[in-house]
Structure 1
Amino acid sequence: MKTSSSVTNEEKQTRIQPPATTRMDDKAKGAILMLIAVSLFACLDSTAKLGSQAVPAIQTVWFRFTVHFILVAIVMNPWRRPDAWRTSAPRLQAARAAIQIVCTGLNFLALSYLQIAQTLSIQFMGPIFVTILSVIFLGEVVGRYRWTAIFISFVGVLIITRPGVGTLEPAFGLIILSVLIGAGYSILTRRLSATESSGSMLLIMAAFPAVILTPLMPFVWVWPKSFAEWLPLIGTGVFGAISHYFYIEAHRHAQSSFLAPLQYFQFLAVLILGFVVFGDIPTIWTLVGSLVLIGSGLFIWYRERTIARAERAREAATHAGSA
């Protein structure tokens, strides 16, 4: 019979380092998980904007992480999932959580002044920084086609934002800063997903901010006046926990540089929610730019599928020859 320690070791062995080249089956799973994650991120942004209209932004951030922690702690309690409460990289986990506090705070504050589509259009610069950092820190190989698609995506961002046209909102600076800092979050997620459990990553990323922010709450607290104000605040934590679970799982199956452009599909969800919830009507520039963004993501998907089919054909020919 296996002892509890041996079971733990075996479970830990299942979380091995990802191979240098990811199989297409894994990439397909990673892409699907990423699309689910970014759709839920749009829901998170919508509830955050609603919540920040009723209480201070820092209180909304506290709700987002505290509810997240409580939810994950109930699902992955230490009696059922003791491995979820362990980590072999506490410093990296803490750094990832700290980055998340800063990025979430900046994003929620900006959402108090801007439309969701505006903040997200700036966030679309993120994949560019993620790709660059994935090459520097993770040693991932990015081909010219993917670089071209990312550059085209950036052109789509410029079409949407049209820098220099009209008055530049100071809140745009908050989003740009959030994007610069947030690129490190994606890189740390990819690195930690190779050795850490999803439970530990979900728990620590929420527990750390909740503990840090709780002492500040008596000084800024504003009681929500109705159920309609409580609901989006609680929703930030629910959508935050579920979306990041899918985000972490996506990074187990595919490289950061492959997944990063798929975040552009979040824009479709944002357009729908922005219209339904806030009555935001996208401009023609927003629609044209989003089409460019989505087209670049589809190109990367098509390119990866083509390469994978060619690799499988070569493998099949090799096996047939050796047989």
Structure 2
Amino acid sequence: MEPDVLKGVLLAFLAYAVFAISDASVKLLEGTLNSYEIVFWGALMGFVILPLVRRPGERYRDVFSATDRRLWLMRAAAALAGSLGSVMAFTWLPMAEAFALLFLLPAFVTILSVVFLKERVGWRRWGAVVLGFAGVLVVLRPGFREINPGHVGALVGALASAVTIVMLRALGAREKRVSLYGAGLIGPLLGSLAMMVPDFAWPSAEQWVFLLGYGLLAAAGNALLMLASGLAPASLVAPPQYSQMVWALGFGHWVFHDTLDAPMILGVAIIIAAGAVTFLREKKRQPRGWRRNPLIHPQ
């Protein structure tokens, strides 16, 4: 592996570790602030890396501009749904369970790529999709355990993130990078602002610590991911996200005292295996749009 590519992969591992700590900060807010307010402050803090996102020649007001306004609005709506879904997942579920369901992302990307980008998918990738959904059934065990809003939020978060990735593939170089990134912040910012107003409560000092951990670390993770994507192809930058499961298990055990039973561990393993198969096939095929993309992470 070339030195720059190796550096890119290591930066990706660091980025996903930072994202995991950001997600743990969300869980530490469990029961103290509503999801809308958490998303609002997180999106607001996401603007701190705008100077790093902006390419030469792009203007800050391009955050609000787009070649295709309809797709820009769809990107903003998907970012809102994904942010709310992820926050709900981490505030309702054990971290490992939340990550497991969010890791269904590659399966959703495969399905949406076939439907909207007309990509050709072989039996191995379809098999990975089926395997991924089978893992979800093992984790959820419908009829044997209670399904709560966190489960719905995680699935919505995975689907919304997949919509975002497919849209980024489709848009390619047609949109300015600052515009694509801006839509991913404006949607959550304005949408959550409208929803949080009726029950708004100013955060306490302790809550601010966790909000800053959530928002600023998520922004830092995106910055690291952009650096990684500039050094290594997306097919090598994306798989390290599964290292988040190690962080989730660690935080879950030592910080949140989560309990995972055998079926849930099996389901998590199945979902991760399905995602790994998908990434291996993506790397081998390199389909249209699967190139270096500094905005591949759903945060």
Shorter-chain TM-score category? 0.7 to 0.9
How many Å apart are 1:292 and its aligned residue?
3.1
User: Structure 2: which 5+ residue stretches go unaligned?
Assistant: 287-299
Q: Residues 179, 47 of structure 1: CA spacing in aligned structure 2 closer, same or farther, 3 A cutoff?
A: same
CA distance in 2, matches of 1:188, 1:33: 25
After superposition, the C-alpha distances for 1:97-126 in whole angstroms (9 at most, x for unaligned) are 221112222332343332222333332333
After superposition, the C-alpha distances for 1:114-166 in whole angstroms (9 at most, x for unaligned) are 22223333323332221011122223332222322333333333333333223
Correspondence 1:176 to 2:155: yes
Paired residues of 2:239 and 2:276 also in contact (CA < 8 A): no
How many Å apart are 1:46 and its aligned residue?
1.7
After superposition, the C-alpha distances for 1:267-312 in whole angstroms (9 at most, x for unaligned) are 333222222331223322333333333444444566677789xxxx
CA distance in 2, matches of 1:179, 1:235: 22
Q: Residues 297, 39 of structure 1: CA spacing in aligned structure 2 closer, same or farther, 3 A cutoff?
A: farther
What does residue 251 of structure 2 align with?
Answer: 273
Higher-Rg structure is 1
How many Å apart are 1:73 and its aligned residue?
3.6
What does residue 83 of structure 2 align with?
Answer: 104
User: Structure 1: which 5+ residue stretches go unaligned?
Assistant: 1-24, 309-323
Correspondence 1:50 to 2:28: yes
Q: Residues 213, 155 of structure 1: CA spacing in aligned structure 2 closer, same or farther, 3 A cutoff?
A: closer
Paired residues of 2:75 and 2:184 also in contact (CA < 8 A): yes
What does residue 83 of structure 1 align with?
Answer: 58
What does residue 266 of structure 2 align with?
Answer: 288
CA distance in 2, matches of 1:90, 1:180: 22
CA distance in 2, matches of 1:301, 1:31: 14
How many Å apart are 1:36 and its aligned residue?
5.3
How many Å apart are 1:202 and its aligned residue?
2.4
CA distance in 2, matches of 1:127, 1:34: 17
TM-score by length of 2: 0.73
What does residue 147 of structure 1 align with?
Answer: 126
What does residue 159 of structure 1 align with?
Answer: 138
Q: 1:241 aligns with which of 214, 219, 234?
A: 219
How many Å apart are 1:83 and its aligned residue?
1.2
Letter in 2 for 1:47: S
Correspondence 1:186 to 2:165: yes
Letter in 1 for 2:121: V
Matched position secondary structure for 1:112: helix
Tell which deviates more after alignment, 104-113 or 209-218: 209-218
Q: Residues 284, 215 of structure 1: CA spacing in aligned structure 2 closer, same or farther, 3 A cutoff?
A: closer
CA distance in 1, matches of 2:31, 2:265: 27
Q: Give the alignment's Cα RMSD to 1 decimal.
A: 3.9
Q: Residues 192, 50 of structure 1: CA spacing in aligned structure 2 closer, same or farther, 3 A cutoff?
A: farther
CA distance in 1, matches of 2:285, 2:5: 12
Mapping of 1:210-221 within 5 angstroms? 210-214=189-193, 219-221=198-200
Q: Residues 246, 95 of structure 1: CA spacing in aligned structure 2 closer, same or farther, 3 A cutoff?
A: farther
CA distance in 1, matches of 2:215, 2:96: 21
Q: 2:49 aligns with which of 72, 97, 110?
A: 72
Correspondence 1:231 to 2:206: no
Mapping of 1:282-321 within 5 angstroms? 282-299=260-277
Q: Residues 253, 131 of structure 1: CA spacing in aligned structure 2 closer, same or farther, 3 A cutoff?
A: same
Q: Residues 56, 307 of structure 1: CA spacing in aligned structure 2 closer, same or farther, 3 A cutoff?
A: closer
Q: Residues 263, 76 of structure 1: CA spacing in aligned structure 2 closer, same or farther, 3 A cutoff?
A: closer
How many Å apart are 1:63 and its aligned residue?
0.7
Letter in 1 for 2:41: F
Task: Give me the identity figure in percent.
Answer: 28
CA distance in 1, matches of 2:268, 2:110: 20
TM-score by length of 1: 0.68
How many Å apart are 1:96 and its aligned residue?
0.8
Q: Residues 37, 130 of structure 1: CA spacing in aligned structure 2 closer, same or farther, 3 A cutoff?
A: farther
CA distance in 1, matches of 2:279, 2:106: 15
Q: Residues 275, 204 of structure 1: CA spacing in aligned structure 2 closer, same or farther, 3 A cutoff?
A: same
CA distance in 2, matches of 1:142, 1:262: 23
